[in-house]
Amino acid sequence: MREYAPEASFASWAFRFAASQEGVARVLSGMNTVEQVMDNTATFRDFRPITEEELGIIRQVTGIIEKHTPIPCTACSYCTHGCPKGIAIPEYFALYNSISRTTGSFSSHAVYYNNMSLRHGKASDCIGCRQCERACPQHLPITDYLKDVAAKFEAGSSFPTRK
Ligand code: SF4
Ligand code: SF4
């Protein structure tokens, strides 16, 4: 993306992609700075639909991201509000994904997981009520993923966790 359009922000790629889809009437954005507001308004002031060539670049990028993101969670946290066990679902998924991008030891991830699980439910505390899955806009099989998380972080753990 940088090579193809050095001046274009990543947000402008995303907006142009979203707004170019058939049937899309509005594109929403969260903005934290005036610079982001300026960038976004500039994108739509001179709106250019995404081209086939640019779509090919986006596909390359998403392929790279997907390869290193075994759990496609977007960290919206809609799933956590009704969890009777207070499981830190998106945080655990982010840790799990982070490991897949780590080449060396993941001992720091294990420490972070265990610190988190002192304040939240562990992945293995899940009782399978599936409230979270009904709330997830990505329709992720959260309960299955939590089993993967538990297998990764809790097997043979020598750290204290919340009872
Ligand atoms: S299925 Fe597990 S993670 Fe999901 S809401 Fe129920 S206890 Fe929480
Ligand atoms: S609702 Fe789904 S996408 Fe959102 S944080 Fe939970 S698991 Fe991730």
Decide: 15 and 29 in contact? Cβ < 8 Å: yes
**Given the CA of residue 82, which atom of ligand 1 is nearest to it?**
5
Decide: 119 and 162 in contact? Cβ < 8 Å: yes
Separation of alpha carbons 154 and 32, rounded Å? 37
Q: What is the pTM of this model?
A: 0.73
Query: Does residue 37's CB lie within 6 angstroms of at least one atom of ligand 2?
Result: no
Q: What would the pLDDT profile of 25-35 be if each residue is shown by its tens digit?
A: 999 988 999 99
Q: Provide residues with CB under 6 Å of ligand 1.
A: 83-85, 87, 89, 126-132, 142-143, 146
Q: What would the pLDDT profile of 32-91 be if each residue is shown by its tens digit?
A: 999 999 999 999 998 999 999 999 999 999 998 888 899 999 999 999 999 999 999 999
Decide: 150 and 124 in contact? Cβ < 8 Å: yes
Q: Please give the pLDDT value at position 66.
A: 86
Q: Please give the pLDDT value at position 161.
A: 45
Q: What would the pLDDT profile of 92-130 be if each residue is shown by its tens digit?
A: 999 999 888 776 667 788 889 999 999 999 999 999 999
Could you tell me the residue ranges of all domains in the chain?
A: 10-67, 78-153
Query: Does residue 74's CB lie within 6 angstroms of at least one atom of ligand 2?
Result: yes
Separation of alpha carbons 63 and 69, rounded Å? 10
Query: Which of 71, 92, 133, 142 to mutate to test ligand 1, by most ligand atoms within 8 A of the CB atom?
Result: 142
CA 66 to chain centre: 11
